[in-house]
Every structure is written in C-alpha cells, then in structure tokens.
Structure 1
C-alpha cells in the first residue's frame, strides 16, 4: 500500500502537488502518512495494531484536508 495522494484525496491533489516542496508542515504530514502506510503493509502486525494505524492514517488524511483548506482561505483573504 503506497501513498498515492491523487487516489487517496483526489479533491486535494492539485492543491497539494504545488506545495509539497515548499510547505514544511505539509511535507511532514505527508511523510508521516507514508510511514504509517508502510506500517500497514506489514502483514505480521496484529489486527488491533493494524486498526490503530489505520485510524492514525485516517487522521493524517484529515489533517491534510485541514491544511489545504486553511491555506486556501489565507490565499483568498
């Protein structure tokens, strides 16, 4: 399971693609998302641990949505 931002959050892919290299917070969240996704690829972890990592992954995706939304508002102001 690799992180494909276009597949994961297609509505944000355009907004994210231009900012990943220049926005440190965005870059950090995406790196965390990649790490969590790699952990979910590990088939040796217990189901309960997998569920926890899946929850964390969901929260990271939500955080990406919040960052883009916040940045979009600040650009329009």
Structure 2
C-alpha cells in the first residue's frame, strides 16, 4: 500500500467518561465532583471518542484492546494517589 499523510494509532475500542467515573467511584468509595463551570475543552460534550486506525491496520499495524489494559492503568493511579 502506498501511503502518505498522517496515520492514527490507538488501542481498539472505546470507553466513555461515565464508565471511567463509575469505575473510579466504585474502587475508591468516593463520589466524583463535576464542576459545570470548569474550563471548556473540545471533547467535554463527547460521550465517547475513538480514533479511526484503518490506515495503520492496512499497513500491518496491530493494536491492543483498550479495555484489556485501561482499568489496570486507572488502578495504578488510584494506588499512587493513596500513598
């Protein structure tokens, strides 16, 4: 395949912000505080976001599944915060 331009790479799958919030609340037994007056950001209103990796896959790249590692990473940061 002849390819030029940018090529996206990311893990397969999506996770919503509410999934992350629910997971953190359950793991920490703390309630997340959401401030509706916070800084505006381009993805604040997105319920889920994913990146199209078709070009990269066509070139032979393989990506892991997001939910195969994301919760371990969140656990790591929860543990760091508890030290």
TM-score by length of 2: 0.33
More helix by share: 1
Decide which structure has the larger Cα Rg and report it: 2
Which of structures 1 and 2 has the larger relative contact order (alpha carbons within 8 angstroms, sep 6+)?
A: 2
